[in-house]
């Protein structure tokens, strides 16, 4: 089973809203990731969690706030976003110690109005 699930599939929010994206995996993976992907561009790494601790933050604006409540869950809290933040947000996971293959969820299509 290499399934990573993400909710919601689509999200439309205003610039003053607060919303959260959710990601879940039950593969026993201990590393989880958030990526942002704009149209016709490759995914860009935002955050990496390893054993529930934030290990990489790619200088992402503070209006994006990640959270890893446990080894199976990853959240991305959104607040005061800009229209240019509209993109596909992808979650991925991997075995931290054994392999580095990352498996992606289906993504959340975010539109900021």
Partner 1 sequence: QKEVEQNSGPLSVPEGAIASLNCTYSDRGSQSFFWYRQYSGKSPELIMFIYSNGDKEDGRFTAQLNKASQYVSLLIRDSQPSDSATYLCAVVGGLNDMRFGAGTRLTVKP
Catalog residues that contact partner 1 under the rule CB under 8 A. 31, 33, 41-45, 48, 50, 55-56, 58, 88, 90, 94, 96, 99-107
Which is nearer to partner 1, 84 or 100 (by Cβ)?
A: 100
- Nearest distance from C-beta of residue 6 to partner 1, angstroms: 9
**If DSSP codes are grouped into helix, strand and coil, which group holds residue 83?**
helix
Nearer to partner 1, 14 or 28 (CB): 28
Q: Smallest distance, Å, CB 100 to partner 1?
A: 5
Q: In the complex, what is the shortest distance from the CB of residue 41 to partner 1, in angstroms, rounded to a whole number?
A: 7
Provide the strand spans (E) within the chain.
Answer: 4-7, 10-13, 18-25, 31-37, 44-50, 53-57, 64-70, 73-79, 87-94, 103-104, 108-112
CB of 102 to partner 1, least distance (A): 6
How many angstroms separate the CA atoms of 48 and 58, rounded? 9
Quick check: 21 and 6 in contact, CB under 8 A?
A: yes
Cβ proximity to partner 1, 21 vs 48, nearer residue = 48
């Amino acid at each position: 089973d290499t399934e990573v699930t993400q909710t919601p599939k689509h999200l439309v929010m205003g610039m003053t809203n607060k919303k959260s994206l959710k990601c879940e995996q039950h593969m026993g993976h201990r590393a989880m990731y958030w990526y942002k992907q704009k149209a016709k561009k490759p995914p860009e790494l935002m955050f990496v969690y390893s054993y529930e601790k934030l290990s990489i933050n790619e200088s992402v604006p503070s209006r994006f706030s990640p959270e890893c409540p446990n080894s199976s869950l990853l959240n991305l809290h959104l607040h005061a976003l800009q229209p240019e933040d509209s993109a596909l947000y992808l979650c991925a996971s991997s075995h931290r110690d054994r392999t580095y293959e990352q498996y992606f969820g289906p993504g959340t299509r975010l539109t900021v109005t």
